[in-house]
Structure 1
Amino acid sequence: MDKSSSATPLAPQDTSSTTSAPVVQIDIISDVMCPWCIVGYKQLELALAQTGMGARVRWHPFELNPDMPAEGENMTEHIQRKYGASAEQSVQNRQRLQDIGAALGFEFNFNPDSKIVNSFHAHVLLDYAATQGLQHPLKMALFKAHFSDGKDLSQDEVLLDVAETVGLDRDASRAALTAECHQQAVRSEEKVWYQNGISGVPSMIFAEKYLITGAQGPENYAKMLQKVISEAA
């Protein structure tokens, strides 16, 4: 579960800086199908900027819909079926997400044909990307591909297209998608989170000690960052 190669150092606004700012370990359990996961991460970025702190981010797999069929499901129909939301409520929720995303610099593009798809292979690819030191940029690219560009992330060729944009080798990535080691790693880690009571995402673990579930806003993340650094001092 603890993959040092998947830990992406994030200085306040510079991933390559050797800044002397305090650095906090943050493990984020998430699904690329979850809009609140990218919202939560963008809020965390603001908190890091506000506090002047850095972070070592590790992404961990979680499937909100592990039984989702290959063809996926219409997003509106899925939300109505799973959460009992009306069509009107679904439209309102999407508009709210678009407004929140715009304020955070992330573009949500929804349409009547938007779908929720099976995300298992996306997690497998992320597991492989961790071994190449490219997990974080791939995670960001997958969020954009799904929510901004409307790409079908259940399709391997789409995943491979995204992988290439962050510098992953296409052939090696293709082999990783069917590699038992990566598939088993995802299954095993997901099981750990389920067994430890994680039922919603994003779930962020600060300094391997404090858990915050849901997109809680820059202010709350900033308070947690400050708490962790204060205790470490």
Structure 2
Amino acid sequence: MNSPLNHSTLLKVDILSDVVCPWCVIGYKRLQKAIQELQLEDKISIEWHPFELNPQMSPEGENLRSHLAAKYGTTLEGSIAARKHLTELGAELGFRFNYFDEMRMYNTRKAHLLIHKAKEKGLQEAMSQALFEAFFTHQQDISDSDQLVDIAASVGFDADEARQLLGDDTEHQIIQTLEQQWLSYGFQGVPAFIFNHGVTLTGAQEIDTFKSVLERVIAEELV
């Protein structure tokens, strides 16, 4: 299918996510697939925004299964089934979920700071994907500054600058303020996808749903 957009048109998609949210991975990968199937790769402008699912998480984190049991009442059987299902969905979309028994939930404030700052360098998508993979695939502690500096450097972000940012309390406050703004808009969870500052999809929607919304928003822009 040929894209109905002219060469200079961009469709803006704002993504609200957290790097420890598996459904954010699934949702983004489905959006990405929809964009590819509609041949819109060079027409879409994506911006990632911070949303911490657990802003009060302690520095050492918590066992993931214990955390989910306490927060959502997830049973061991439910956890096993969910991990299997997510692993299968990820594989279908080219993403490897590598769950393990002692996996931990971490504070993500520092990770969001790197994603936010990566926008200035055109590295937001690369940074987001690297952090998803670091947590879900490579079993890394994405709250640890040393590991975060290495992740940032792997996508072309200056390591010294990354380390300085991670230790800057003012920069941390900026992320917290941005998160409060999204809460004030009524967002209570992730993922959320906002198309051209209007149509919003929440959750990891199916590829066809993303395609339908993309086509509708594009048609409205061309009226």
TM-score computed with the length of structure 2 as normaliser = 0.93
CA gap of 1:103–1:21, structure 2 versus 1, over 3 A, is farther
Which residue does 2:98 correspond to in 1?
109
Superposed, 1:1-233 pairs within 5 Å as 20=7, 23-53=10-40, 54-233=43-222
Q: Which moved more, 1:187-196 or 1:129-138?
A: 129-138
Structure 2 alignment gaps of length 5 or more: none
CA gap of 1:125–1:164, structure 2 versus 1, over 3 A, is same
**In the alignment, is the contact (CA less than 8 A) between 2:48 and 2:116 conserved in 1?**
no
Task: Tell me which amino acid in the other structure corresponds to 2:145.
Answer: D
Instruction: Return the offset for 1:131.
Output: 2.0
Question: Among the aligned pairs, what percent are the same residue?
Answer: 38
C-alpha distance in 1 between matches for 2:52 and 2:17:
8
**In the alignment, is the contact (CA less than 8 A) between 1:119 and 1:153 conserved in 2?**
yes
**In the alignment, is the contact (CA less than 8 A) between 1:127 and 1:185 conserved in 2?**
no
**In the alignment, is the contact (CA less than 8 A) between 1:22 and 1:229 conserved in 2?**
no
Q: Which moved more, 1:48-57 or 1:23-32?
A: 48-57
Instruction: Return the offset for 1:179.
Output: 2.4
**In the alignment, is the contact (CA less than 8 A) between 1:29 and 1:201 conserved in 2?**
yes
- What RMSD in Å do the two structures reach over aligned CA positions? 1.4
Instruction: Return the offset for 1:180.
Output: 3.9
Instruction: Return the offset for 1:182.
Output: 2.3
C-alpha distance in 1 between matches for 2:122 and 2:170:
17
**In the alignment, is the contact (CA less than 8 A) between 1:124 and 1:177 conserved in 2?**
yes
CA deviation string 1:86-136 (max 9, x = no partner): 100000000000000000000000010111100011111222222222121
Instruction: Return the offset for 1:21.
Output: 8.3
CA deviation string 1:27-54 (max 9, x = no partner): 0000001011111000001100111223
Residue correspondences, number: 216
CA deviation string 1:174-231 (max 9, x = no partner): 1111224422221111001111110110111001111111000110000000000000
**In the alignment, is the contact (CA less than 8 A) between 2:62 and 2:106 conserved in 1?**
yes
Q: Secondary structure at the match of 2:13?
A: strand
C-alpha distance in 2 between matches for 1:217 and 1:21:
28
Task: Tell me which amino acid in the other structure corresponds to 2:48.
Answer: W
TM-score computed with the length of structure 1 as normaliser = 0.89
**In the alignment, is the contact (CA less than 8 A) between 1:42 and 1:104 conserved in 2?**
yes
C-alpha distance in 1 between matches for 2:68 and 2:60:
16
**In the alignment, is the contact (CA less than 8 A) between 1:21 and 1:52 conserved in 2?**
no
